[in-house]
């Protein structure tokens, strides 16, 4: 990319945008390849955070990295070699004012960073990077946390920086923003560049296709007809009029209703931060909905993890390392950690039958091919794929009535991904209802018979037979689809 | 591996303590000899060590169990005093005439129950209001210390009114003893076994450990971290409270200020040196009990001033804790 250019990076979660930025910043060492700045190749062996900074690479992260209690000028002076060994308030203030003047960025000085609006904090961060002499400035989804007005105000700033000879890297999911601000856009998909184009000369559909992949691929599960439930039978899992507060405004659940029949996989596609986590938490019984009801086989389930478990709703967590499994506990202990503490095989009134749990675990380990086959091994020591097998072995035991599976293959290699998919399809064939919440569109399309799109906390219908492109367009088409960290 | 680290910690700490003693101008060899003789060298020395070990064992278990559930119990000292206070009130005011068969269990359980309530209070504050249990237990320590001071100058003061201390507990409330080693010490050893059983062989212990290792995963498995924090604190309080009840009923025979030489604080070091394993708390408490008992002998026999013995104890605690904790990841 050239000096004076705003260059956008577009790609799905996990496409490699952040990894690429981390290489640029010297946080991740590349296996091979080269990097050149200002026409001079960089010695990658000596490349690191400090070298990157000295070479003029600056980054504005998605979330503020200012010290909240420090004043703005203190933040700007913090860790700056040129600010000197001692902190001199007047000099810091003068330097901050000079920077503000020079780059024309409106940031209030003299007040703690935590009192700034998100947009002001971002400008302060840009100022800090520029103050360090950044010639290449990368912004990681800078508009995600901004109001539309603040986002509008950011774009002229970026254009002005580019005009002054700075190279600006702009990471975003939002096509219309990229169109507005970027000169060129490079699309990343699964760690590869899918090409660099002029965003204004390319329509949303082709960008979406580049981002989501060209070939339609195989759809192993969707082709099969769903197991036909008995006519007139109530759906195995139903959600009606569900509302729930969100972690952020955009991710609050707004009046969701859907049904999942026995023997059916319903996919919920979406970009992270649109309510997936909230929906997962409600269906796992840890986030209390403000309205609406959950039904299993037509009967309402009271709020709570144990009530849901008791009615046969299993949950394959999207955050397996933290929420799905207890890393410090053994495979055996994790396999019996289920909310059903009346499971007499392992839990008597005053006795935990550790021996029975280990024996049981040995059988499950064999059945699921968990490596290493040691029931006493702590789950934190397993690979991602084997840890997920532990979670699958626990949640699929006894054919649950319904399963809520969230990003069940995130971070897994191909073999483990295939294994998890097979297990889900087998469970469906056995007559369980599966709700698959995933940000992997290909996964949703491959496994689910029906697909819903979760966009800003609302469910949008996806026409039957939708492909990646049309689904991607639905997810992206909504102007303010936001992304979480 | 774990045990080796803890042993290395204790050994290295003793070595450094020797350097400190030498720097103060005393012979470390004499000091060590006095320390060993005063803690292990005779029946009387063993008795002193065991009497110090009892309360350290119970409070050490109290701290370890709470840690296992992910909550910091810095309040074992206050809980111990609450136990001693309740036990004294029951024995000298509520039921002084009761027979031993009734009074002894009443004193022990009453002390444990009062301290369990104090502990549960810290747990409740954390569960319902998000009050850091580190802060609340420290503050509750001060409240317990002042409550004892008030009681021995007020409602529980001895009939003669001579000193700020309670009446002597009636004979029926005194713990039976083997030599001078009262039954409470043996109960403390049994408590270590019971705590290990609770933690590793009961459903409650399973859930406490799950919460301690990953509150989020526990919540998704239907285990309430809040409720279990309260439960852990109640159990921790009961253990420390029993230590207090045993002190008045087995050792001092009366309640007075300064009843505890800081058992509840040393307990934190006891628990950390044991790496929070209830069975490992036994040798850990014995080690600190021997130090406590031997420090007196070191002062008497080797002529090392009491300030120096305190320095030695401090070094040992810092060292053992620093060594025994796992290296911080990342």
pLDDT in tens, A449-481: 999 999 888 998 888 878 877 887 788 754 433
Mutation target among A306, A326, A406 for the B interface, most CBs of B within 10 A: A326
The percentage of residues in chain B with a pLDDT greater than 70, rounded to a whole number, is 96
Mutation target among B198, B199, B218, B221 for the A interface, most CBs of A within 10 A: B221
Mutation target among B208, B217, B224, B227 for the A interface, most CBs of A within 10 A: B217
**Euclidean distance between CA atoms A302 and A293, whole angstroms:** 8
Q: Within an 8 Å CB–CB cutoff, is residue A306 touching chain B?
A: yes
Most confidently predicted of A147-161, B133-147, B263-277: B133-147
Residues 6+ apart with CB under 8 A from A324: A316, A317, A391, B217, B220
* Closest CA–CA distance from residue B269 to any residue of chain A (Å): 23
CB contact under 8 A, A322 and B205: no
Q: Both tokens of residue A436?
A: 């698959």
What does the pLDDT read at residue B325? 63
Nearest to B214 among A326, A349, A352 (CB): A326
Most confidently predicted of A16-20, A445-449, B1-5: A445-449
**pLDDT of B317 above 70:** yes
Answer with the residue of higher pLDDT: B239 or A29: B239
CB contact under 8 A, B201 and A352: yes
CB contact under 8 A, B216 and A322: yes
Burial (CB count within 10 angstroms: exposed 0-12, middle 13-18, buried 19+), residue B134: middle
Q: Within an 8 Å CB–CB cutoff, is residue A312 touching chain B?
A: no
What does the pLDDT read at residue B330? 35
Cα-based angle A181, A182, A187 (whole degrees, multiple of 5): 135
Most confidently predicted of A22-31, B94-103, B279-288: B279-288
Q: Within an 8 Å CB–CB cutoff, is residue A347 touching chain B?
A: yes
Q: Both tokens of residue A452?
A: 């819903």
**pLDDT of B6 above 90:** no
Residues 408-467 of A with CB under 8 A from B: none
The edge-to-edge listing of strands for the beta sheet with A167-171 is: A57-60, A136-140, A167-171, A6-11, A184-189, A192-197
Q: What is the pTM of this model?
A: 0.76
Residue in A closest to B210 by C-alpha = A326
β-bridge partners, A434:
A265, A403
Residue in B closest to A320 by C-alpha = B217
Mutation target among A288, A308, A320, A323 for the B interface, most CBs of B within 10 A: A323
User: Which is it for strands A57-60 and A136-140: parallel, antiparallel or unpaired?
Assistant: parallel
**pLDDT of A378 above 90:** yes
Q: Within an 8 Å CB–CB cutoff, is residue A356 touching chain B?
A: no
**Residue B136 DSSP SS3:** helix
CB contact under 8 A, A286 and B223: no
Residue in A closest to B205 by C-alpha = A352
* Closest CA–CA distance from residue A326 to any residue of chain B (Å): 6
Nearest to A323 among B200, B203, B216 (CB): B216
User: Mean pLDDT across chain A, nearest whole number?
Assistant: 84
Residue in B closest to A332 by C-alpha = B206
Residues of chain A positioned with their CB less than 8 A from the CB of B213: 326-329
User: Which chain B residues have any C-beta within 8 angstroms of a chain A C-beta?
Assistant: 200-203, 205-207, 209-210, 213-214, 216-223
**Euclidean distance between CA atoms A366 and A374, whole angstroms:** 10
CB contact under 8 A, A305 and B209: no
**pLDDT of A297 above 70:** yes
Residues of chain B positioned with their CB less than 8 A from the CB of A301: none
In 3D space, the residue among B249, B137, B256 whose CA is nearest the CA of residue B184 turns out to be B249
Q: Within an 8 Å CB–CB cutoff, is residue A112 touching chain B?
A: no
**Euclidean distance between CA atoms B288 and B135, whole angstroms:** 25
**pLDDT of A483 above 50:** no
* Closest CA–CA distance from residue B223 to any residue of chain A (Å): 7
Mutation target among B214, B226, B228 for the A interface, most CBs of A within 10 A: B214
| pLDDT range class, residue B17, cuts 50, 70, 90 | confident
**Euclidean distance between CA atoms A322 and B215, whole angstroms:** 9
Among the residue ranges A53-67, A111-125, A200-214, B41-55, the one predicted with the least confidence is A200-214
Residue in B closest to A316 by C-alpha = B220
Residue in A closest to B211 by C-alpha = A326
Residue in B closest to A356 by C-alpha = B201
β-bridge partners, A186:
A9, A196
């Amino acid at each position: 990319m050239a000096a004076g250019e705003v260059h956008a990076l577009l790609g799905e979660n996990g496409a490699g945008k952040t990894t690429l930025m981390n290489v640029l910043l010297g946080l991740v060492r590349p296996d091979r390849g080269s990097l050149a700045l200002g026409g001079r190749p960089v010695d990658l062996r000596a490349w690191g955070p400090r070298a990157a900074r000295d070479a003029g690479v600056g980054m504005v992260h998605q979330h503020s990295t200012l010290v909240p209690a420090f004043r703005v000028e203190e933040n700007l002076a913090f860790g700056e070699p040129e600010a000197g060994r001692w902190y001199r308030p007047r000099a810091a203030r003068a330097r901050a004012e000079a920077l503000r003047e020079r780059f024309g960025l409106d940031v209030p000085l003299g007040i703690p960073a935590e009192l700034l609006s998100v947009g002001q904090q971002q400008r302060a961060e840009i100022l800090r990077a520029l103050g360090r002499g950044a010639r290449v400035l990368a912004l990681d989804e800078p508009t995600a946390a901004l109001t539309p007005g603040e986002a509008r105000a950011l774009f002229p700033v970026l254009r002005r920086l580019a005009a002054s000879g700075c190279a600006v890297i702009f990471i975003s999911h939002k096509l219309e923003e990229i169109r507005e601000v970027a000169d060129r856009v490079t699309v990343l998909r699964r760690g590869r560049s899918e090409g660099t184009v002029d965003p204004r000369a390319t329509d949303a559909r082709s960008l979406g296709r580049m981002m989501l992949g060209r070939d339609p691929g195989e759809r192993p599960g969707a082709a099969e007809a769903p197991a036909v439930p008995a006519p007139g039978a109530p759906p195995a899992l139903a959600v009606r009029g569900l509302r729930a507060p969100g972690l952020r405004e955009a991710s609050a659940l707004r009046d969701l209703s859907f049904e999942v029949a026995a023997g059916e996989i319903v996919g919920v596609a979406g970009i992270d931060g649109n309510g997936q986590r909230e929906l997962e938490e409600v269906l796992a019984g840890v986030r209390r909905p403000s309205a609406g009801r959950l039904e299993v086989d037509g009967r309402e389930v009271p709020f709570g993890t144990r009530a849901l478990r008791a009615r046969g709703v299993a949950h394959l967590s999207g955050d397996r390392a933290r929420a799905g499994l207890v890393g410090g506990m053994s495979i055996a202990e994790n396999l019996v950690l289920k909310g059903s503490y009346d499971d007499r095989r392992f839990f008597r009134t005053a006795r935990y039958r550790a021996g029975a749990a280990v024996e049981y675990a040995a059988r499950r380990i064999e059945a699921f091919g968990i490596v290493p086959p040691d029931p006493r091994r702590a789950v934190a020591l397993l690979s991602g794929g084997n840890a997920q097998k532990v979670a699958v072995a626990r949640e699929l035991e006894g054919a649950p009535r319904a399963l809520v599976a969230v990003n069940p293959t995130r971070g897994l290699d191909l073999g483990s991904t295939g294994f998890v998919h097979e297990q889900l399809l087998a469970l469906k064939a056995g007559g369980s209802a599966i709700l698959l919440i995933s940000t992997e569109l290909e996964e949703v399309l491959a496994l689910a018979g029906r697909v819903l799109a979760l966009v800003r906390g609302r469910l949008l219908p996806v026409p039957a037979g939708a492909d990646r492109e049309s689904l991607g367009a639905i997810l992206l088409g909504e102007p303010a689809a936001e992304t979480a960290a | 591996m774990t045990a080796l680290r803890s042993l290395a910690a204790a050994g290295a700490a003793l070595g450094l303590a020797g350097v400190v003693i030498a720097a103060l101008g005393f012979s470390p060899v004499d000091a060590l000899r006095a320390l060993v003789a005063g803690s292990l060298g005779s029946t009387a020395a063993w008795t002193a060590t065991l009497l110090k070990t009892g309360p350290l064992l119970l409070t050490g278990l109290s701290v370890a169990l709470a840690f296992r559930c992910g909550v910091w119990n810095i309040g074992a000292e206050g809980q111990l005093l609450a136990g001693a206070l309740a036990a004294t009130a029951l024995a000298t005011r509520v039921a002084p005439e009761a027979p031993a068969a009734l009074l002894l269990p009443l004193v022990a359980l009453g002390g444990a129950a009062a301290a369990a309530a104090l502990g549960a209070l810290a747990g409740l504050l954390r569960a319902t209001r998000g009050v850091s249990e580190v802060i609340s237990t420290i503050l509750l320590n001060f409240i317990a210390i002042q409550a004892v001071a008030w009681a021995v100058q007020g409602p529980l003061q001895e009939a003669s009114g001579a000193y700020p201390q309670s009446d002597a507990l009636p004979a029926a409330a005194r713990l039976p003893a083997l030599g001078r080693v009262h039954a409470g010490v043996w109960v403390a050893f049994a408590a270590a076994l019971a705590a290990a059983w609770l933690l590793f062989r009961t459903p409650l212990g399973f859930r406490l450990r799950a919460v301690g290792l990953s509150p989020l995963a526990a919540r998704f498995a239907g285990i309430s971290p809040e409720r279990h924090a309260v439960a852990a604190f109640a159990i921790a309080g009961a253990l420390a409270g029993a230590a207090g009840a045993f002190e008045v009923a087995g050792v001092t025979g009366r309640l007075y200020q300064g009843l505890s030489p800081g058992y509840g604080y040393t307990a934190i070091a006891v628990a950390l040196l044991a790496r929070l394993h209830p069975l490992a708390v036994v040798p850990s408490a014995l080690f600190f009990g021997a130090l406590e008992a031997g420090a007196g002998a070191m002062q008497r026999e080797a002529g090392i001033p009491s300030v120096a013995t305190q320095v030695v104890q401090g070094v040992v605690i810092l060292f053992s804790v620093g060594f025994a904790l796992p290296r911080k990841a990342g």
